[in-house]
């Protein structure tokens, strides 16, 4: 006689933002009786992923280590498909769960579809409405939506977008965004153990009395002209002696290639290596305002009440803008400078954006998603 095994849930992810949003869900699922939860990482971004796995206390069951220098999207997609297909054939999951809009999420869903394995999609329903911004993420996310049978929408706007695409409303669950779970958990850990983010002590001392602006940029569609304009804008902002720029530089070499010749070396600009999550969360807390083209940072900054200028032409996260904490400024040099100076010089404008508002969730998204997955078994 064979005994039925517990339902096997395989979470698949590969980059830093996916890992930040998935680690709370890994722990919530592991706490669910009657489920066997396994983690497969593709390591689409090796170094950045490993930082989060370690801070998030996640030990992958399967590590595909798929990162290769200068890999094209074709090569990455093809490798992901064959490797994930092989993993699914070996592990035989009863459900696959993917997050967001990366190649790993898209191919993770596709390989599951080829085997008729149901797919849960975390952070479903974000839409910019423009398939070229963000590129290729807008289409990746839409492909996952076509395949998934459980859609975890972070906001009402995202849930409505899915339903407008004729996705069965019974399969759409408004859960909030697990980035807020990760943010709360990490802030609580730093409060209990300041050493976790003590690597910023020296910078905090060096820039004491200055107004700190945190900058991140990495989007593919900003490579070329957009990055150069961002670099020139940051250089002009840094001409002010009352300002300090802290800029954790994404490891994609294209970012440094754009920044270094324009920004050069300045006393009040710290171009630093990517920070692990606790250090980055501390940096957001120290910052007066944030300039970014990142998706995740657009969610975290509003939750911390930090004004954020989004250096993109469109966003699939309108909630921060509607809430008033975020403003879309594109990659026009003059506009970035003007909006930044306005926030620095007009206390009322800064205060109006600095309302702590949290359109992305209450910090209890992960247990909600775990419950829905368990109930669907």
Exactly one of 187, 218, 219, 317 is catalytic; name it.
218
Burial class (CB in 10 A: 0-12, 13-18, 19+), 242: exposed
Taking CA atoms, 350 is separated from 326, 339, 341, in Å, by: 11, 10, 10
Q: What is the DSSP string of 295-347?
A: HHHHHHHHHTT--EEE-SS--S-THHHHHTSEEE-TT-HHHHHHHHHHHHH-H
Cβ closest to ligand UDP, residue 32 vs residue 259:
259
Largest CA distance in the chain: 76
Q: Is 137 a catalytic residue?
A: yes
C-alpha 324: how far from chain center = 20
Q: How many Å apart are CA 358 and CA 247, to the nearest integer?
A: 24
Residue 129: Cβ within 10 Å count:
9
Q: Which of residues 152-181 bind ligand UDP (CB under 6 A)?
A: 179
Choose one: 12-20, 23-31, 113-121, 158-166; the region binding ligand UDP (CB under 6 A).
12-20
Does residue 107 contact residue 26 with C-beta atoms inside 8 Å? no
Exactly one of 18, 123, 228, 339 is catalytic; name it.
123
Residue 199 is a binding residue for ligand UDP (CB under 6 A): no
Q: How far is the CB of 2 from ligand UDP (least distance, A)?
A: 43
Cβ closest to ligand UDP, residue 121 vs residue 218:
218
Residue 44 is a binding residue for ligand UDP (CB under 6 A): no
Q: How far is the CB of 149 from ligand UDP (least distance, A)?
A: 24
From the list 248, 251, 285, 324, which residue makes contact with ligand UDP (rule: CB under 6 A)?
248
Q: How far is the CB of 375 from ligand UDP (least distance, A)?
A: 28
Residue 297 is a binding residue for ligand UDP (CB under 6 A): yes
Does residue 104 contact residue 26 with C-beta atoms inside 8 Å? no
Q: Is 101 a catalytic residue?
A: yes
Active site residues: 101, 123, 137, 218, 220, 250
**Residues forming the site for ligand UDP (CB under 6 A):** 16-17, 20, 179, 216, 218, 248, 274-275, 277, 280, 294-297, 300
């Amino acid at each position: 006689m064979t005994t039925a095994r517990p339902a096997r849930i395989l979470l698949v992810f590969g980059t830093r933002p996916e890992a930040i949003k998935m680690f709370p869900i890994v722990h919530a699922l592991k706490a669910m009786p009657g489920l066997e939860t396994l983690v497969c990482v593709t390591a689409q971004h090796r170094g950045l992923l490993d930082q989060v796995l370690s801070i998030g206390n996640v030990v992958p069951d399967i590590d595909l280590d798929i990162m290769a220098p200068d890999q094209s999207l074709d090569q990455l997609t093809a490798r992901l498909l064959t490797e994930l297909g092989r993993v699914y054939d070996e592990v035989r999951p009863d459900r696959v769960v993917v997050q967001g809009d990366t190649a790993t999420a898209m191919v993770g869903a596709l390989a599951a579809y080829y085997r008729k394995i149901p797919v849960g999609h975390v952070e479903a329903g974000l839409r910019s409405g423009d398939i070229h911004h963000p590129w290729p993420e807008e289409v990746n996310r839409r492909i996952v939506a076509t395949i998934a049978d459980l859609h975890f929408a972070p906001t009402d706007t995202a849930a409505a977008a899915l339903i407008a695409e004729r996705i069965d409303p019974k399969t759409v669950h408004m859960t909030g965004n697990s980035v807020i779970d990760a943010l709360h958990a990490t802030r609580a850990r730093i409060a209990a153990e300041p050493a976790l983010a003590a690597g910023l002590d020296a910078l905090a001392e060096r820039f004491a009395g200055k107004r700190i602006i945190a900058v991140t940029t990495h989007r593919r569609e900003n490579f070329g002209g957009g990055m150069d304009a961002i670099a020139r804008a940051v250089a002009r902002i840094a001409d002010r002696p009352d300002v300090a720029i802290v800029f954790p530089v994404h490891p994609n070499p294209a970012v440094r290639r754009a920044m270094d010749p324009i920004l050069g070396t300045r006393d009040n600009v710290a171009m630093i290596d990517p920070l692990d999550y606790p250090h980055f969360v501390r940096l957001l807390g120290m910052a007066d305002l944030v300039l970014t083209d990142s998706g995740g940072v657009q969610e975290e900054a509003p939750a911390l009440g930090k004004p954020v200028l989004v250096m993109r032409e469109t966003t699939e996260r309108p909630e921060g803008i509607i809430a008033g904490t975020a403003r879309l400024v594109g990659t026009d040099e003059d506009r970035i400078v003007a909006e930044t100076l306005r926030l620095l010089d007009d206390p009322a404008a800064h205060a109006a954006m600095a309302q702590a508002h949290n359109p992305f969730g209450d910090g209890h998204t992960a247990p909600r998603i775990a419950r829905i997955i368990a109930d669907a078994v």
